[in-house]
C-alpha cells in the first residue's frame, strides 16, 4: 500500500508529542513536526535550520522533520527522517547541513520563532538504507565515528550528539519503531 511521503514522519511527530505530554517530568517540552494537518494542529509547521540571526534564503541550510524544544526556546532534539531508501552520500549531506545550523526557525501564529542550540542539543538522522553491499556498516563503522571526531562549531550541534537510526529494510515502520524506543530512553 502506497503512503504519501512524510506520512510516517507525521505519525511519529504526533506520537512523540502525545508521549511527552504523558510524562509529567517532560511537560516542559514542545514538539514541532512537519507532515501533518496544519489547519487543526498548531505544532505542525515547517522547521528550518539556519546559520545566522534570521531566516532568509541565504541563511537557510536545511529543513528538519521533528524538533523538541523547551519552553525557553532551547532545542533538545532535532530529528530528520528519510522515509525512502537513502544512500550514505545523501545521509552525510543531511548530517553536515544540520551540524552547520546555529539556530532553528518555525513560523508560529504568522511570526518566525527562533530556537537556540545548546551543548546538550541532540541530532538524530533516521531512515532506510539499501541492504545490498556494505552501506550499513559504512554508515555505522566509518561515517558516524569519523563525523563524531570533528571539532564542533562553537554555536552548532556537537557531532558527539549525533545519533543515526537506520534499518536495512524497505519498510520505514522498522526505523520508526526503533526511533520511538530511543526517544523513550532519551526522555525517561
Is residue 108 classed as helix, strand or coil in its secondary structure? strand
**CA distances from residue 171 to 12, 36, 183, 184 in whole angstroms, order as listed:** 14, 20, 20, 21
Query: Does residue 41 surpass a pLDDT of 90?
Result: no
Of the listed ranges 20-24, 62-66, 178-182, the one predicted with least confidence: 20-24
The pLDDT assigned to 27 comes to: 66
**pLDDT, position 94:** 95
Could you tell me the residue ranges of all domains in the chain? 7-186
Question: Kindly report the CA angle at 15 between 9 and 19, in degrees rounded to 5?
Answer: 145
pLDDT band at 26 (very low <50, low <70, confident <90, very high): low
- Range scoring the smallest mean pLDDT among 31-35, 167-171, 180-184: 167-171
For range 10-20, the mean pLDDT: 94
* Average pLDDT estimate for 76-86: 94
Strands 111-129 and 74-86: parallel
Question: What whole-number distance in Å separates Cα of residue 83 and Cα of residue 64?
Answer: 13
pLDDT band at 171 (very low <50, low <70, confident <90, very high): confident
Amino acid at each position: 500500500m502506497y503512503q504519501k511521503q512524510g506520512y510516517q514522519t507525521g505519525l511519529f511527530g504526533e506520537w512523540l508529542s502525545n508521549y511527552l505530554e504523558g510524562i509529567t517530568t517532560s511537560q516542559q517540552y514542545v514538539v514541532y513536526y512537519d507532515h501533518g494537518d496544519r489547519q487543526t494542529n498548531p505544532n505542525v509547521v515547517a522547521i528550518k535550520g539556519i546559520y545566522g540571526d534570521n531566516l532568509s534564503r541565504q541563511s537557510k541550510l536545511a529543513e528538519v522533520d521533528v524538533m523538541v524544544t523547551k519552553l525557553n526556546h532551547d532545542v533538545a532534539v532535532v530529528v530528520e527522517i528519510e522515509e525512502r531508501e537513502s544512500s550514505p552520500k545523501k545521509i552525510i549531506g543531511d548530517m553536515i547541513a544540520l551540524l552547520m545550523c546555529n539556530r532553528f526557525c518555525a513560523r508560529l501564529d504568522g511570526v518566525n520563532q527562533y530556537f537556540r542550540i545548546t551543548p546538550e542539543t541532540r541530532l538524530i538522522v533516521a531512515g532506510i538504507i539499501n541492504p545490498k553491499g556494505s552501506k550499513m556498516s559504512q554508515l555505522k563503522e566509518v561515517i558516524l565515528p569519523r563525523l563524531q571526531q570533528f571539532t564542533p562549531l562553537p554555536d552548532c550541534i556537537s557531532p558527539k550528539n549525533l545519533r543515526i537510526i537506520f534499518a536495512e529494510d524497505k519498510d520505514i515502520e522498522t526505523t520508526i519503531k526503533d526511533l520511538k524506543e530511543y526517544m523513550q530512553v532519551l526522555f525517561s
